[in-house]
């Protein structure tokens, strides 16, 4: 049992921790050798973890040239290289659990963590594959934990033709994009006019995949 003071501090929050992976992961096979794995509610206490990360992560806005003007990319970012200390111990536990579950199939460990903060419905990421580096030519995996308010992650076959998949992800959900997904499919988080609260996405990738 927790001491009373601590219990009152944590009122309304679950303890932050991981649920199991194993049998609870559902695989959806896409076309052309791509797949996604879904594990809703993987992270317990996801709303508390959201608050912790929003506080401690040194978020920055990336600039991009667009129509000959330099504009802010519409979301805040922070990238943790493989040697960087992660901003919360539970993210180290998540990486270890992903390595235990996917290590054999992936043939290597997850190394880097990219964090994105979508402040509201105006923040977004356009259609893309994570194709910088080895993922341009090789199968790989990108594992994403979603914290805070749910947003839609859309997936479609690269080059069009075929179905568009919408996954609503937030409050501790896990999605893993695997196989050829970064080369043969694209994903995005569209803007929404609905009033939505902030969401944080934590992406684990192997070395040399961006």
Ligand X SMILES: O=C(O)CCC(=O)C(=O)O
Q: CA-CA distance, 118 to 192, in Å (whole number)?
A: 11
- Give least dist CB 1 to Fe ion, A: 42
| Candidate list 30, 43, 49, 125; residue touching ligand X; CB under 6 A | 125
Q: CA-CA distance, 169 to 148, in Å (whole number)?
A: 9
| Candidate list 18, 90, 153, 209; residue touching ligand X; CB under 6 A | 153
| Candidate list 36, 98, 143, 144; residue touching ligand X; CB under 6 A | 144
| Candidate list 115, 201, 204, 206; residue touching ligand X; CB under 6 A | 201
Residue nearest to Fe ion (CB): 130
- Give least dist CB 8 to ligand X, A: 34
Residue nearest to ligand X (CB): 201
Catalog residues that contact ligand X under the rule CB under 6 A: 114, 116, 125, 130, 144, 153, 187, 189, 201, 203
């Amino acid at each position: 049992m927790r001491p009373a003071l601590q219990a009152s501090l944590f009122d309304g929050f679950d303890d932050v921790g991981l649920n199991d992976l194993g049998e609870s992961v559902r695989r959806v096979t896409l076309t052309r050798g791509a797949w996604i794995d879904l594990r809703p509610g993987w992270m317990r206490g996801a709303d508390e973890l959201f608050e912790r990360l929003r506080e401690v992560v040194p978020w920055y806005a990336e600039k991009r040239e667009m129509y000959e003007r330099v504009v802010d990319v519409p979301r805040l970012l922070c990238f943790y290289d493989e040697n960087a200390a992660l901003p919360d111990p539970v993210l180290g536990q998540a990486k270890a659990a992903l390595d235990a579950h996917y290590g054999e199939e992936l043939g290597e460990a997850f190394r880097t963590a990219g964090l994105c903060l979508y402040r509201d419905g105006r923040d977004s990421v356009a259609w893309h594959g994570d194709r910088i580096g080895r993922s341009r030519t090789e199968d790989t995996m990108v594992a994403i934990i979603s914290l805070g308010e749910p947003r839609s992650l859309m997936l479609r076959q690269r080059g069009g033709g075929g179905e568009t998949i919408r996954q609503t992800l937030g409050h501790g959900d896990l999605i893993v994009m695997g196989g050829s997904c970064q080369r043969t499919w694209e994903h995005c988080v569209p803007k929404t006019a609905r009033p939505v609260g902030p969401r944080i996405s934590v992406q684990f990738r192997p070395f040399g995949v961006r």
